[in-house]
């Protein structure tokens, strides 16, 4: 009998690159600086780091343990551990909820990644325009005034042809890579994209340090102003930490399944958390000096990257070239994350429907693409459609924001809560401890965080997310 080839990473480095690629994404470069900017900088960063260390990292380890032990997709891995622990396989629900979350995240993630792709195109044409005009070091978007540049985003949101073309290209790339398999597709993409990403991140940060207001950015990010803190900010920081580390969305469980038995999981989980947080902070150090030096508002919100930065690039030396590198960097980050989101669903579909990887990737990817089309259209012609309009917190949100909100407020916390209770209380302790590779004080501390602190903290995100009026101000 011919043995079926078991898929897996070819080395520990490959796993780390792929997992860091899954974690580092739009959340780090787009959301984190946005939230830090809106919530007073240093105080937010401090709380964020506490959330990563005390709640995010223990959960990352729990998820990778479930995956490596189960050796299958998130649902079937969780089910295997539940059965071996002699508890109801209902506990495997967190795998199913996570897979649903991955599916839904990718629908809008791909649309936002499409905006990034559009800006890559804008800056390519701008850069070549600058080259042919004989001044390669010209600032970006010179044919547009400072007032006109922000209108680009509004115009993009009105243009379904561009929105849908970019979404299509992005989903096509994601599906094509996942369809090639773990080693030939996902791992190869990560080994090219992630090192390039890191080089770009360092280069643009150095550029910002020279031409922008680096000192102001450093003091903004590292001087905590505690008057800015309230329960809402803490809640937001914890939610962002989970999203950024890809907790609760099946991706880490799925990637964990391809890790060889000899790999020590705890140091690997720590590296993922460390790299993800480091990139988020570096993204702040890359973006804020540029935003400050152009005299723009750091609290601009979600338009910070798409509107404020292009304005800033206009007045900076070689702005069109650096702008191009900047959007390529975000594009790479988004692509490695979307690959992990699709893989989380595809791994499950292959097992569930006993079909080939290619069929699962194109089938699942196709459905996600279609829901993504609805997200894109909700920016314009479907902006008044309310898919969960009966539910107070979603009464005013369009399709895209509703899916985003539903995942962030319901699915991710629910998946994380069941995971942490399962690992902390229900799963066979011997199996889990052996898989973790921890012992002594470290093991006891991880067990304490998993059994006590995480369930409480994640329950609070869930409660305050669903009933925002309960938040103490
Ligand atoms: N962590 C990614 C980001 O910060 O953009 C988003 C993400 C990827 C969430 C993969 C969940 C996931 F499974």
Q: Mean pLDDT over residues 297-312, rounded?
A: 88
Q: Rounded to the nearest whole angstrom, what is the distance from the C-alpha of residue 449 to the centroid of ligand 1? A: 23
d(CA 153, CA 149): 8
pTM of the model as a whole = 0.95
pLDDT one-digit tens code per residue, 46-104: 999 999 999 999 999 999 999 999 999 999 999 999 999 999 999 999 999 999 999 99
With bands split at pLDDT 50, 70 and 90, how would you rate the model's confidence at 144?
A: confident
Q: Mean pLDDT over residues 413-417, rounded?
A: 97
Query: What is residue 2's predicted lDDT score, i.e. its pLDDT?
Result: 41
Q: Mean pLDDT over residues 117-136, rounded?
A: 84
Probe target for ligand 1 pocket from 24, 64, 97, 244, with the most ligand atoms within 8 Å of CB:
244
Say whether pLDDT at 137 is over 70.
no
Say whether pLDDT at 3 is over 50.
no
Probe target for ligand 1 pocket from 335, 337, 413, with the most ligand atoms within 8 Å of CB:
337
Say whether pLDDT at 1 is over 50.
no
**What per-residue string of b and e applies to 216-251 under the rule 16 or more CB within 10 Å gives b?**
ebbebbeebeeeebeeebbbbbbbbbbbbbbbbbbb
Q: Rounded to the nearest whole angstrom, what is the distance from the C-alpha of residue 25 to the centroid of ligand 1? A: 6
Contact indicator for 308, 33 with CB cutoff of 8 Å: no
Q: Mean pLDDT over residues 389-397, rounded?
A: 93
Query: What is residue 146's predicted lDDT score, i.e. its pLDDT?
Result: 80
Q: Rounded to the nearest whole angstrom, what is the distance from the C-alpha of residue 24 to the centroid of ligand 1? A: 7
Say whether pLDDT at 316 is over 80.
yes
**308/364: higher pLDDT:** 364
Q: Rounded to the nearest whole angstrom, what is the distance from the C-alpha of residue 29 to the centroid of ligand 1? A: 12
Q: Rounded to the nearest whole angstrom, what is the distance from the C-alpha of residue 223 to the centroid of ligand 1? A: 28
Integer CA distances (angstroms), 67 to 183, 256, 269, 343, in order? 17, 5, 13, 13
With bands split at pLDDT 50, 70 and 90, how would you rate the model's confidence at 32?
A: very high
- Residues near ligand 1 (Cβ within 6 A): 22-23, 25-28, 102, 105, 243-244, 246, 249, 251, 337, 340-341, 344
pLDDT one-digit tens code per residue, 348-357: 999 999 999 9
Q: Rounded to the nearest whole angstrom, what is the distance from the C-alpha of residue 131 to the centroid of ligand 1? A: 36
Q: Which protein residue's CA is at the shortest distance from atom 11 of ligand 1?
A: 246
H helix runs in 180-264, sequence order: 188-211, 214-222, 231-244, 251-256
Q: Rounded to the nearest whole angstrom, what is the distance from the C-alpha of residue 295 to the centroid of ligand 1? A: 31
Probe target for ligand 1 pocket from 18, 34, 243, with the most ligand atoms within 8 Å of CB:
243
Query: What is residue 273's predicted lDDT score, i.e. its pLDDT?
Result: 97
């Amino acid at each position: 009998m011919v043995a079926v080839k078991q898929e897996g990473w070819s080395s520990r480095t490959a796993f780390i690159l792929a997992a860091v690629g899954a974690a580092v994404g739009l959340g780090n470069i787009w959301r984190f600086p946005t939230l830090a900017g809106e919530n007073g900088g240093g105080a937010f960063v401090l709380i964020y780091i506490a959330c990563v260390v005390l709640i995010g990292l223990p959960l990352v380890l729990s998820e990778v343990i479930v995956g490596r032990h189960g050796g299958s997709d998130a649902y079937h891995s969780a089910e295997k551990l539940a059965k071996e622990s002699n508890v109801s396989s209902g506990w495997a629900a967190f795998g199913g909820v996570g897979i649903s979350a991955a599916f839904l995240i990718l629908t809008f993630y791909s649309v936002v990644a499409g905006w990034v792709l559009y800006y890559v195109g804008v800056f390519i044409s701008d850069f070549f325009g600058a080259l042919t005009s004989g001044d390669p070091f010209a600032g970006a978007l010179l044919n547009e005034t400072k007032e006109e540049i922000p209108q680009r985003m509004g115009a993009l949101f009105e243009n379904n042809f561009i929105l849908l073309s970019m979404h299509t290209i992005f989903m096509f790339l994601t599906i094509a890579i996942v369809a090639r398999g773990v080693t030939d597709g996902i791992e190869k993409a990560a080994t090219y994209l992630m090192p390039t990403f890191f080089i770009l991140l360092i280069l643009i940060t150095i550029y910002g340090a020279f031409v922008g207001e680096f000192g102001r950015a450093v003091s903004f990010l590292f001087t905590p102003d505690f008057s800015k803190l309230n329960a809402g900010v803490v809640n937001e920081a914890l939610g962002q930490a989970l999203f950024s580390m890809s907790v609760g969305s099946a991706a880490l469980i799925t990637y964990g399944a391809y890790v060889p038995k000899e790999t020590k999981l705890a140091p690997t989980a720590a590296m993922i958390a460390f790299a993800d947080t480091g990139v988020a902070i570096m993204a702040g150090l890359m973006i804020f000096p540029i935003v400050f030096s152009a005299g723009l508002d750091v609290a601009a919100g979600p338009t910070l990257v798409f509107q404020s930065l292009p304005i800033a690039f206009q007045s900076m030396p070689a702005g069109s070239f650096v702008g191009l590198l900047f959007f390529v960097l975000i594009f790479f980050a988004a692509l490695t994350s979307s690959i992990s989101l699709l893989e989380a669903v595809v791994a499950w579909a292959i097992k569930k429907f006993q079909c080939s990887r290619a069929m699962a990737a194109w089938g699942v990817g196709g459905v996600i693409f279609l829901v993504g089309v609805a997200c894109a259209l909700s920016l314009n012609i479907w902006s008044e459609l309310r898919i969960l309009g009966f539910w107070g917190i979603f009464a005013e949100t369009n399709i895209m924001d509703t899916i985003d909100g539903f995942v962030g407020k319901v699915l991710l916390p629910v998946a994380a809560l069941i995971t942490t209770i399962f690992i902390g209380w229900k799963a066979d302790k011997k199996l889990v401890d052996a898989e973790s590779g921890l012992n002594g004080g470290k093991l006891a501390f991880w067990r304490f965080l998993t059994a006590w602190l995480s369930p409480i903290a994640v329950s609070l995100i869930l409660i305050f997310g669903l009933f925002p009026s309960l938040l103490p101000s």
